[in-house]
C-alpha cells in the first residue's frame, strides 16, 4: 500500500498501475452510485489484471456492487458499519491524531492523512503539514497514507515523517517516479 493512486479515468489508472501503484482508488466526487458502478467496472478489471487493490471513494454501495477490495470514507461519510460487516477494507480520512485514533478504534484498516500541503483537489482544506502527519502516524498502529500536494519531489518527506505510503491525485500519472522516490 505504499503508493495509492486516486484516479477518475481508466487511462491514468493504467499508467499508475504500470508505474507501481499498489492501490487504485476510484474517485468520481459528483457521480451517483449507478454512475460509479457503470464506470467502475473498467477499474475493477484493470485492478484484477495488475493484481492491484481496488478501492472506491465514499460509496459503500458502489464498492459492494463492484466487488471492490475496499472503500475510503471521509469523516462524514455513511455506511461504515455496512462496509465492515461485508468484510471490506475501510480507509478513513483524518486531519488530527484524535480523528485517526477514533477511526482505528472504529475498525479502519488505514488512515488517509492530509492534506499535507495545499492542493487544488481540496482547495478548502487547510494543510496539516509534516509535524501533524508525524503525530497522526504515532497515534495509531494501522498504516497512515499521506495525501495532499504530494509529488516525486516531496513524497519521501512523508515517509520520513512516519507515513507508510502516499496517495496522489494529480501526480498519479507519475507513479513510476513516485515509486522510485519511496
Residues acting as catalytic residues: 27, 93, 122
Reply yes or no: is the peptide bond before residue 115 cis, omega within 30 of 0.
yes
Q: Are 24 and 7 in contact (CB under 8 A)?
A: yes
Burial class (CB in 10 A: 0-12, 13-18, 19+), 177: middle
- CA distances (Å), origin 60, targets 10, 73, 101, 167: 20, 9, 22, 20
Three cell numbers written together for 72? 475510503
Under a CB-based contact definition with an 8 Å cutoff, are residues 91 and 55 in contact?
yes
Helix (H, G, I), strand (E, B) or coil at 67: coil
State the DSSP code for 52.
-
Instruction: Name which of 52, 50, 67, 61 is nearest 4 in CA terms.
Output: 52
Amino acid at each position: 500500500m505504499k503508493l495509492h493512486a486516486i484516479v477518475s479515468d481508466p487511462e491514468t489508472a493504467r499508467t499508475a498501475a504500470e508505474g507501481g501503484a499498489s492501490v487504485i482508488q476510484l474517485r468520481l466526487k459528483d457521480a451517483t452510485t449507478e454512475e460509479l458502478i457503470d464506470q467502475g467496472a473498467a477499474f475493477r478489471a484493470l485492478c484484477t489484471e495488475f493484481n492491484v487493490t481496488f478501492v472506491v471513494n465514499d460509496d459503500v454501495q458502489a464498492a459492494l456492487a463492484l466487488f471492490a477490495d475496499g472503500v475510503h470514507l471521509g469523516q462524514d461519510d455513511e455506511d461504515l458499519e455496512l462496509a465492515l460487516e461485508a468484510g471490506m477494507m475501510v480507509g478513513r480520512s483524518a486531519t488530527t491524531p484524535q480523528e485517526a485514533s477514533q477511526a482505528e478504534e472504529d475498525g479502519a484498516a488505514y488512515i488517509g492523512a492530509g492534506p499535507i500541503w495545499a492542493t487544488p483537489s481540496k482547495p478548502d482544506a487547510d494543510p496539516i503539514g509534516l509535524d501533524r502527519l508525524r503525530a497522526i502516524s504515532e497515534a495509531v498502529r494501522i498504516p497512515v497514507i499521506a495525501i495532499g500536494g504530494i509529488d516525486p519531489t516531496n513524497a519521501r518527506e512523508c515517509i520520513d515523517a512516519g507515513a507508510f505510503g502516499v496517495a496522489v491525485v494529480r501526480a498519479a500519472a507519475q507513479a513510476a517516479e513516485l515509486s522510485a522516490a519511496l
